[in-house]
Amino acid sequence: MNRGLYNGQTNASVLVTGGAGYIGSHTCKYLASRGFLPVSYDDLSTGNRSSVRWGPLVIGDIGDTRSVAASIRRYQVSAVVHFAASAYVAESVTDPRKYFENNLIKTISLLNVLVDEGVKDFVFSSTCAIYGVPERLPISESHPKAPVNPYGESKLAIERVLRWYGEAYGLKWISLRYFNAAGADPDGEIGENHPIETHLIPSIFGSLASEAKALPIFGRDYPTRDGTAIRDYVHVSDLARAHGLALDSLRQNRGNRAYNLGTGNGYSVQEIVNIIEQVTGQRPRTEDLPGRKGDPPILIADASLANEELGWIPQHSRLDEMVSTAWQWHRMQKRDSAREVVAGS
């Protein structure tokens, strides 16, 4: 079958599953800036139709093999970037069936369609949750894999499937293991807008908007510099660029491996609260709660392999820029919502 050109030229088609979501939509914008045609494939269960601005939207489930195959043929898809998944860690513990169905079974179904349709290049959205509680820091790709929740387990299972599909069917793949995504599009066009918000920075903004809603801080007795948990935050636009670089690497037949995506710098929950107070001029009200079971005190990435082999260097991941872009997006959303209320009154 004649595929769209896969060399960065105009109209080269990339199927982006979950393209209406947070990281997916930012990646679509980046791919479009590179001359690709990003085809967003999303069931809109958690994604937003308004975030699909740089290519067509196909509304569908990745488990629907006929719909996926038809989309590949219609748009002459040359590569797939796969974000579509359930992604709430706590929910995965209480409802593992949902996570193994959506993240494992349906992804295998998607891979089977790619094999049947002759699409060879596949970039997978993975996670640092596959490592579990770290034995050493920073965490490199060779660190033992010991997930402590079904979400991480489902992602690790797909990484193992990819290895065998590569050997048996010639699938070329790259798995990108994110640490903590943060921030919003510097141009203010898209941002983080989840139906259930679990990420720290937008959760803090939510507490600022509600006098009755305190920000829960889970644990103040971790062995860290201020007692709160430390995480490695990376700007969503930097993550988007990594996917484009991964596609470049696959085009050059350099694939079938995993890369960490992080900055190598860790910030505590309290430090995030402090920088948000500086940026917004408002101090969120907090509520101290016990630490969560299995929650590591510190997670910091060693992303040197992505730097060396993909040429990936974070460009927007200073803490102040991540918070500032997220705050800009949050204020725009509040302003737009207020206009809608006035218009409808």
Burial (CB count within 10 angstroms: exposed 0-12, middle 13-18, buried 19+), residue 99: buried
Among residues 151, 178, 233, 259, the one annotated as catalytic is: 151
Q: Amino acid letter at 100?
A: F
Q: Amino acid letter at 48?
A: N
Verify whether residue 222 is a known catalytic residue.
Answer: no
Q: Cα–Cα distance between 344 and 134 in angstroms, integer?
A: 51
Cβ distance 19 to 40 under 8 Å? yes
- The per-residue DSSP string of 54-81 comes to SS-EEE--TT-HHHHHHHHHHTTEEEEE
Q: Cα–Cα distance between 321 and 81 in angstroms, integer?
A: 26
Q: Cα–Cα distance between 99 and 103 in angstroms, integer?
A: 5
Cβ distance 143 to 131 under 8 Å? yes
Q: What is the CA radius of gyration of the chain?
A: 20
The closest of 226, 224, 202, 227 to 215, measured between CA atoms, is 202
In sequence order, the 6+-apart residues with CB closer than 8 A to the CB of 134 are: 143, 296, 298, 299
Q: Where are the alpha helices (DSSP H) in the chain?
A: 22-33, 65-74, 89-94, 96-99, 106-117, 150-169, 200-209, 236-251, 269-280, 304-310, 319-344
Cβ distance 272 to 201 under 8 Å? yes
Query: Looking at the annotation, which residues are catalytic?
Result: 151
